[in-house]
Chain A
């Protein structure tokens, strides 16, 4: 089936490329259309559907992943552009034994999301924020997460969740009560 797809692409004048990705620490080589975005490769070729696609033109932030540790919109990149890169997706946040990342635990505690379609993007953006700035203020959190859209919550519970994660990751094991 993939072979048929790639043959059709070639007859339509599109290039086929070999892309060597490392996704969540595992090697994931793929042969895909050059026009295929990283988000589609992650979901359709690598089989990791945790990365969500909302707008597919860089507005909603749902598809945010880490590329060599830096946050990026996977819908605004061709997979071919990141040949050789290390990608971290939402599936890579928890420990191998299933222990959730502190930001995931904090979001549960804060009831951060409702439908959670936007959750993968918010979580990856929050992980990137806390890597750059381990103790952001509430306004810094709001500003950094402005690149992600949520249509359920009004954002307060999401910002609350990040604040809980900040406290936990800075040594307050109670994580606060908000």
Chain B
């Protein structure tokens, strides 16, 4: 339960960190909060020859609200920082809603939001929040900057669009529409543990008619995953229990969650449906419709 030996780097600038990654490539891992990487290394599931600790690089720990109301989160912003940020609560409320579900206080105080996204655990909350809210993910390497769309970011189990020489330095969440509502709900064996299944919902609503819908599930596939057929069933429908039940039925029919020691595939499919109704009801609770 101890990490294997590695060469430790603690660069002071982003350029130095990117140069190190350019040199060591696949044999290097980026260390930010370490709340996923350190246990992986302790369990010897990961054994990098080089660890690049970006924790002392200045300028990566800010939450910035743009003129349009978009919110940019830097690579060293910790979960707890977003949980208590009024800017996040106002301009990126789905992140704030997700935070109480993310691990425990002692892990949120060290773990970073972008680290969770870059790690890409299929049972974690933030990848689903990314799929639901569709931010732009900004990756830097020594050869330049590239912007990755949320829909293109998660490739498979702990596998993302990031290359070995890149750091996810910022994620820019689009402005939250005045008509938008959202919720994050999950079922876990113990509060703060990885979810058996969870979901992040974002809707825009005109009056009591749903005009757009994004439903993103975690713990339900090899990555966080959306269910477009259920979303399409919601668009144009009114906010009602029948509408939500219909979407839930589609979700349960279409998802094929993997079984593990904690829950069977059938139970997870059932939970995904239950959570669909719960999430949509929570998201629309303040609209005044009796969903």
- Within A65-120, the residues touching B (CB, 8 Å) are 67, 70-73, 75-78, 80-81
Please judge, given known A-B contacts A76-B35, A81-B34, whether A71 and B5 are in contact too, CB under 8 Å: no
The CA of A177 and the CA of B53, in the complex, are separated in Å by 49
Q: Nearest Cβ distance between residue A137 and chain B, in whole angstroms?
A: 15
Give the residue among B4, B103, B105 with the most A Cβ atoms within 10 A.
B105
Asked if A81 and B53 make an inter-chain contact with CB atoms under 8 angstroms apart, the answer reads yes
**Smallest distance from the beta carbon of A73 to chain B beta carbons, Å?**
5
In the complex, what distance in Å separates the CA atom of A78 from the CA atom of B110? 12
Q: Tell me, rounded to whole Å, the shortest Cβ–Cβ distance linking A127 to chain B.
A: 11
A56 and chain B: residue at smallest CB distance: B1
User: Which single member of A9, A67, A143 contacts B5 (CB below 8 Å)?
Assistant: A9
- Taking the complex as formed, is A1 at the interface, i.e. its CB lies under 8 A from any CB of chain B? no
B3 at interface, CB cutoff 8 A = yes
Contacts of B107 in A (CB 8 A): 58, 72-73, 76, 147
CA distance A12 to B4 in the complex (A): 9
Q: Kindly provide the distance from the CB of B71 to the nearest chain A CB, expressed in whole angstroms.
A: 23
Q: Shortest CB–CB separation between residue A114 and chain B, in angstroms?
A: 20
Contact pick for B6, options A34, A57, A143, CB 8 Å: A34
Bitwise interface map of B from 31 to 48 toward A, beta carbon under 8 Å scored 1, else 0: 100110011011100000
Q: Which residues of B contact A61 (CB under 8 A)?
A: 104, 106
Docked CA distance A58–B70 (Å): 34
| A72 pairs with B104, CB closer than 8 A | no
Within 8 Å of chain A (Cβ to Cβ): is B93?
no
CB atoms of A71 and B35 under 8 A apart: no
1/0 per position for B88-114, CB-CB distance to A under 8 A?
A: 000000000000000111110110000
Docked Cα-Cα span, A56 to B2, in Å, equals: 8
Does B166 reach chain A (CB closer than 8 Å)?
A: no
